[in-house]
Amino acid sequence: MRSSSLASPIAFKSDKGVRTVVSETAIFENRSDMYKNGNLPVRDTVLELGVYLGDNALDLYDALDPELLVLADPWEETTDPRFKASNHDVVQEKVKGKRTQIIKGTEDDVLERFRPGFFSMVYIDTTHTYADTKRQLHKLHGLVKRNGYLCGHDFGHPEDANYGVVGAVFDFMITNGWSLSHVTTDDEPYRSFCITKVSI
């Protein structure tokens, strides 16, 4: 693990005042390293939105030993042969016997099932577009406990029509008073990030 603390905090002014969005950010090689060495909550409740084949779910489970790992994904048939409904069965087999709950659906289906402040960590890996990422951050942040984390994937792609994670995350932080706490570097452009609510 490589950890750093920025000497000069980065702040932005919004309609809610000046927001510091980067002050002390821990830097890791990849997301497995971040899970194991990032002082993220262990033996608690974790949500992964966008599960695909479940490999990251297993990494989260092994590193954080959660009381409950909720896995939510539509698992629908698409024109992309990688993303198909049968991936749901693959994930079910991989997590059999583990403390997991599988939800075949979107963030709205998650919101219907859990009370505010239920999760210590939420990890988002869905479409990676600006609009979807920003919407999911806004919808799901209320489910995160005080001092919990909103995390996600693809934090290194250039902004274009297909990728808007970086812009969505920074816009969310500026507007809502969250700060970048963790980032990975060696897995560019598939970097991961975590943000946390700034204490006032």
In the prediction, which pLDDT does 122 show? 98
pLDDT beyond 70 at 84? yes
Task: List the structure tokens of 28.
Answer: 């890791």
Domain at 2-197, CATH class: alpha beta
Residue 103: how many other CB atoms lie within 10 Å: 20
pLDDT score of 21 more than 70: no
Predicted pLDDT of residue 3: 52
Q: For position 9, what pLDDT does the model report?
A: 44
- Pairing mode, strands 10-14 and 17-22: antiparallel
Q: Is 148 helix (H, G, I), strand (E, B) or coil?
A: strand
**Cβ atoms of 110 and 72 closer than 8 Å:** yes
What's the average model confidence in pLDDT over 149-154? Answer: 97
pTM score, whole prediction = 0.89
pLDDT of 40-75, one tens digit each? 999 999 999 999 999 999 999 999 999 999 999 999
Q: What is the mean pLDDT of residues 24-30?
A: 91
Q: Are 53 and 86 in contact (CB under 8 A)?
A: no
What six digits make up the tokens of 128? 């990676």
Q: Where are the domains of the chain?
A: 2-197
Task: Tell how strand 100-104 and strand 68-73 pair up.
Answer: parallel
**pLDDT higher than threshold 90 for residue 10:** no
What is the per-residue pLDDT for 22? 58
Task: Give the residue carrying structure tokens 């943000």.
Answer: 195
For residue 198, pLDDT beyond 60: yes
Cα–Cα distance measured from residue 160 to residue 125, given in angstroms and rounded to the nearest whole number:
17
Mean pLDDT, residues 26-44? 96
Give the tokens for residue 76.
Answer: 């629908």
Q: Is there a contact between 195 and 23 (Cβ–Cβ < 8 Å)?
A: no
Cα–Cα–Cα angle for 22, 26, 27, nearest 5°? 110
Average pLDDT, the chain: 89
Q: Could you tell me which of 108, 101, 114 has the C-alpha nearest to residue 48?
A: 101
Burial of 111 (0-12, 13-18, 19+ CB in 10 A): middle
Is pLDDT at 6 greater than 80 in this prediction? no
Could you give the percent of the chain with pLDDT greater than 90?
Answer: 80
Name the pLDDT band for 23 (thresholds 50, 70, 90): low
Query: Token pair for residue 150?
Result: 């909103």
Q: Is the pLDDT of residue 1 over 90?
A: no
